[in-house]
Chain A
Amino acid sequence: MLSELRTMWEVLKHTFTKAETVEYPEQMPYLAPRYRGRIVLTRDPDGEERCVACNLCAAACPVDCIALQKDTREDGTWYPEFFRINFSRCIMCGMCEEACPTYAIQLTPDFEMCEYDRQNMVYEKEHLLINGVGKYPDYNFYRVSGMQTASKDKGEALNEERPIDTRSLLP
């Protein structure tokens, strides 16, 4: 008896507390910048695609929903010929972002991805690539990497000496 009355009291008490739920979609919830939602591919500060098609995101993905193919630019740098994420399989775990060595793949605070047709959940590179750097404004992989590119000769990467002249007799 007492317990039943106590239960009713507890329930009634909540009539006067502030609601935790919000009137979505009229009222949007706050999502932190590091919320793990829709995946994007970002660009480096120079406006080039950051993704170098190393395949680490695909390998890290527990549901195997990322497929891509590497291609090479004229200067020898790598980029994805296609990059596909099947969001109907994605579990937004963020492992791809953790695995990405170039900060290319990032998760965003957007979860509104409902579709009537499941096929529309398959995103290609043109749907994923944004014109921005995302959460990491400064990083450019090719400035650090020892690989020669069109804009950077051997020895011009971060912390590199000029190329060795093997025919020099100097120590």
Chain B
Amino acid sequence: MPTIYIDGQAIEVKQGENVLEACLNAGMDLPYFCWHPSMGSIGSCRQCALVQYQNEEDTQGRIIMGCMTPVSEGARFSLKAENATEFREAVVESLMLNHPHDCPVCAEGGECHLQDMTVMVGHRDRRYTGKKNTHRNQYLGPLIHHEMNRCIACYRCERYYKDYAGGKDLGAQASHDHVYFGRHEEGILESEFSGNLVEVCPTGVFTDKPFLKQYSRKWDLQSAPSICHGCAVGCNIAPGERYGKVKRVHNRYHDEVNGYFICDRGRFGSGYLNSKLRLDYSGIKKSDGSFLAVHQKQALETAASWISGKKVAGIGSPRASLEANYLLREMVGKNNFSAGSSDLEATLVGSILSILQTTTAVNPSIKKMETADAVLILGEDVTNTAPRVALALRQAVRNKAFELAEQMGLPLWQDAAVRNLAQDNLSPLIIVSAMDTRLDDISSNSISLAPHEIATFGRAVAGALNGEKTDDPDVISTAEILKNAKNPLIISGSSMGSQDVINSAVEVAEAISKPETMLSFCVSECNSMGSALLAQDGGVSLADIIKRAPKLDALIVLENDLYRRGKRSEIDQLLDSGIKIISLDVYENRTLDGSHLVLPAASYAESQGTLVSSEGRAQRFYPVHSPSHERLQSWEWLLELAKLTGNKKLSKLENLDDVVSTCAKDNLALKKIVDVAPKNSYRSSGSKVPRQTHRFSGRTAIHSDVSVHEPQQPKDHDSPLSYSMEGLNRDQPASLTPFVWSPGWNSNQSLQKFQSEVDGPLKGGSSGVRLIASSSKGSKVFSESEEFELKAHQWHLVPAHQIFGSDELSAHTEEMAELAGRGFIAIGQKVAEKLGVKQGDGLLVQHGDVRCSLEVKVLSRVAKNCVGYSVGYEETQELTPGCLVSLQVDKDWRRTSPEVIASDKTALGHIASDGGGAYG
């Protein structure tokens, strides 16, 4: 480890890092703008200036940029030298020349890196008397607000959007002080990761548009460490609440999972929490079918009278916490409990789990996936099923560039140089899918095959790796690439609805026979893996419950819209079978409509629990605010109910810690969940960790419209977090970090004060516990090729998951619904020509007695005899993966939108409310 001297102070630094990183690691405040730990240095903002001296005698020195200067043994720098401080102040002064006078009406105000840096360098008075440059804003869709006047031209947005996230439609335009960051013309940003621009931009050019509609300053938001419920990846998030509304979601750093970035579903998909669909009170169904609102106590007593001493079954949910699912299972007994996934999904996730428990391959974290130098994706459109993984794969293909840079002796943080060196050289990424995927642009080979052919392809690759001869050039090249890779990664998942595809992925991974081989699976919902872990210990299928329904007295449904799990006729039959149905859920849906008693469950932002991600990482989420109205957390409802019905085992439990420890005792696979987060009794420096910032305002006025006598702050009896500003948000375990703030660092860049080192784990460690350990015996999967006989004019239906729209809860967010559009049927160009339809036309899709009319989406590549359908949409609810359908032109179809491709969608009336004008 080299030693460098900064202002005479000796600092041990890591070989290969730059001086800016070294300063930040040493806890020094060196201002910067364009440098980002995950995007490296380009030296464009000139802010991180220091003085470097030749030797001890040198008093003159020369100004260098910290981010562009590698550390070397004995190098001497000064941060405090007068010419360095003057230089840094002058840089900010020049950046502020054109900065508009609009901080009070800027959504970045109060968490603005530019504000912080301006204060840090001491710039105050404007000396320039000339006029300010101005720019037109653009409409960039419902998620991102654009205010170009505020730009300081650091290029971070372009580098993130194009270089890091692989977007194509945002970039720098014009030159010198005319430089402009935007699209070629107004329209919705294409990238699924555009929301990170909000956090990447050091000032207020890109701000969170839904948040802007109900804006509160960062210091006024009450935050808590939470886990995204949008998919199974388990990204760490920090939602912020005020006045009882969840206002925004920010990324919460986790070095092994999401790093600095989350996808747009995670960031913007929580709007449903404030929607009118939320349940506030319990209701008992009256004879006329409407619901009578009743008090908690009455609802509980009614429920208890229906289930006490009766034959009761329970249906859990892969979107409810592990604790709630466990309590329900304990209440009704293993033989009366179904985990709540559709039977197909349950089988697939169950098999994925047992594969991960036995495979010889490594089950990687997302951070680890970024090290892969060859990737094979079998069947998944990762960007739509596990978005954050897709972003990691975009980094993985850059390993070729890093390899070349290392050969040249270039430091990897020299971003522009590394990119210049590598040009278009990417590590191989082979995608075998039924149709277009959003990663096709970086793939070395995209192969279109029907699901059963994907499995055959996988097996052939495994065969080739084992030395079998084959003629297929794709198989040969894929096997060759995987064989030569140092860290190959195979990705598959449950989204195709095919066991065969999953099995073939295992065969490939195990045929590579390298200890570094990685095998990862995408599963559908935030707690699918947790459900599967519980189900391993016993439970019955959903079909079994439906079959036995007439013999039961009551059924408890936990946070589950059953219509998404099975055929409509079957679910109708279950709900009408004359038994009492008790439903707990966060929002109104058809299952609740068909229930006899509904209990309002607290949302994820109001409750605590554990989720298990697709990687098998158990992570705890905490309530951001206490449940509003008469809502209770699902596990609280169930625990109360268990107590009322005299359940001896559960009656002893007092709080969530008790539930967690009992659950861990009862399930061998979940033994480690007690270590996921600190116990309720944990105290940081003698007090609970505050959810509010020390500058939280309005405490004596928020509730004074109701009563001037201020109520006590709500108490949190289940976690070491408090609904208060008292306490210390520092030095606690990472799983208890509700927000980041440090003196002088109000923006999210204060994260570096919480990291143990730049880009490293948080000081409190990496949160979560990985529950799935592999025995490395090798998975014994038996796959047989299925043969399909297609009649003329029949197509094989393949699921096409959508980042906006396929997820049950986030789809109820206004902005998500706008982006999701209508349910569609995706066909290839040839089929479209044959049927005589164009994008936006209608097609009648028929399978047996199921008929639905869907919008046509024409894709550039679709496997032969296959059509895709949008999963999880209202219109496609009746379609199931793998069924054979016939297609017919819908003559009554009405086009909704003019013929435009997605990237050319125009503002159409959004301009006025956006505060921006037409560009140009």
Q: Which residue of A lies closest to B172 (CB)?
A: A166
Residues of B within 8 A of A161 (CB): 131-134
Give chain A's interface secondary structure class.
loop
17 extra A-B contacts, CB within 8 A, seeds A68-B698, A86-B701, A89-B701? A56-B104, A64-B698, A64-B699, A84-B705, A88-B704, A118-B708, A141-B104, A148-B137, A148-B917, A154-B134, A159-B132, A160-B132, A162-B134, A165-B920, A166-B178, A166-B920, A167-B174
B180 touches A (CB below 8 Å)? yes
Residues of B within 8 A of A164 (CB): 133-135, 174, 178, 180
Residues of A within 8 A of B697 (CB): 55, 58-59, 61, 64, 66-67
B103 touches A (CB below 8 Å)? yes
Q: Are A148 and B708 in contact (CB under 8 A)?
A: no
Q: Mark B137-149, 1 if CB is under 8 A from A, else 0.
A: 1000000000101
Q: Which of A52, A64, A121 contacts B104 (CB 8 A)?
A: A52
Interface residues of A (CB under 8 A from B): 52-56, 58-59, 61, 63-70, 72, 74-78, 84-86, 88-89, 101-102, 118-119, 121-122, 124, 141, 144-148, 153-155, 157, 159-168, 171
B684 touches A (CB below 8 Å)? no
Q: Which of B105, B134, B243, B698 contacts A54 (CB 8 A)?
A: B105
CB pairs A–B below 8 angstroms (24 shown): A54-B104, A55-B110, A58-B697, A59-B110, A59-B217, A59-B220, A59-B697, A66-B697, A68-B698, A69-B216, A72-B915, A76-B915, A76-B916, A86-B701, A119-B708, A124-B705, A145-B101, A145-B105, A146-B150, A147-B147, A154-B135, A161-B134, A164-B135, A167-B173
Q: Which of A76, A122, A124, A147 contacts B708 (CB 8 A)?
A: A122
Q: Are A153 and B913 in contact (CB under 8 A)?
A: no
Nearest 8 A-B pairs (CB), nearest first?
A: A76-B915, A146-B100, A67-B698, A54-B104, A67-B701, A58-B697, A166-B174, A64-B699
A70 to chain B, nearest CB (A): 5
Q: Which residue of B lies closest to A102 (CB)?
A: B104
Residues of A within 8 A of B178 (CB): 164, 166, 168
Residues of B within 8 A of A54 (CB): 103-105, 109
Tell whether A59 pairs with B134 under 8 Å between CB atoms, given A54-B104, A78-B105, A146-B149: no
B215 touches A (CB below 8 Å)? yes
Query: A122 CA to B217 CA in the complex, in Å?
Result: 23
Q: Are A171 and B176 in contact (CB under 8 A)?
A: yes
Q: Are A84 and B131 in contact (CB under 8 A)?
A: no
Residues of A within 8 A of B920 (CB): 165-167
Q: Which residue of B lies closest to A88 (CB)?
A: B708
B423 touches A (CB below 8 Å)? no
Q: How many residues of B contact A (CB 8 A)?
A: 52
Q: Which residue of A lies closest to B701 (CB)?
A: A67
Residues of A within 8 A of B173 (CB): 166-167
Q: Are A163 and B915 in contact (CB under 8 A)?
A: no
B407 touches A (CB below 8 Å)? no
Q: Which of B150, B696, B699, B912 contacts A74 (CB 8 A)?
A: B912
Q: Which of A64, A77, A155, A168 contacts B701 (CB 8 A)?
A: A64
Q: Are A77 and B913 in contact (CB under 8 A)?
A: no
Q: Which residue of A lies closest to B126 (CB)?
A: A159
Q: Are A86 and B708 in contact (CB under 8 A)?
A: yes
Residues of A within 8 A of B913 (CB): 72, 74, 76
B136 touches A (CB below 8 Å)? yes
Q: Are B705 and A147 in contact (CB under 8 A)?
A: no
Query: A86 CA to B729 CA in the complex, in Å?
Result: 29
Q: Are A89 and B102 in contact (CB under 8 A)?
A: no
Residues of A within 8 A of B104 (CB): 52, 54, 56, 78, 101-102, 141, 145
B912 to chain A, nearest CB (A): 6
Residues of A within 8 A of B100 (CB): 145-147, 157
B664 touches A (CB below 8 Å)? no
A144 to chain B, nearest CB (A): 5
Q: Which of A58, A74, A78 contacts B220 (CB 8 A)?
A: A58
B773 touches A (CB below 8 Å)? no
Residues of B within 8 A of A65 (CB): 698, 700-701
Query: A171 CA to B175 CA in the complex, in Å?
Result: 8
Residues of B within 8 A of A118 (CB): 708-709
Q: Mark B679-710, 1 if CB is under 8 A from A, else 0.
A: 00000000000000001111111101101110
Q: Which of B103, B212, B700, B707 contacts A119 (CB 8 A)?
A: B707
B53 touches A (CB below 8 Å)? no
Residues of A within 8 A of B916 (CB): 76, 148
Q: Are A72 and B213 in contact (CB under 8 A)?
A: yes
A89 to chain B, nearest CB (A): 4
A160 to chain B, nearest CB (A): 5
A75 to chain B, nearest CB (A): 7
B219 to chain A, nearest CB (A): 6
B593 to chain A, nearest CB (A): 33
Tell whether A159 pairs with B131 under 8 Å between CB atoms, given A70-B215, A101-B104: yes
B815 to chain A, nearest CB (A): 16
Residues of B within 8 A of A76 (CB): 912-916
Report B27-57 residues with CB < 8 Å from chain A CB: none
Residues of B within 8 A of A56 (CB): 104
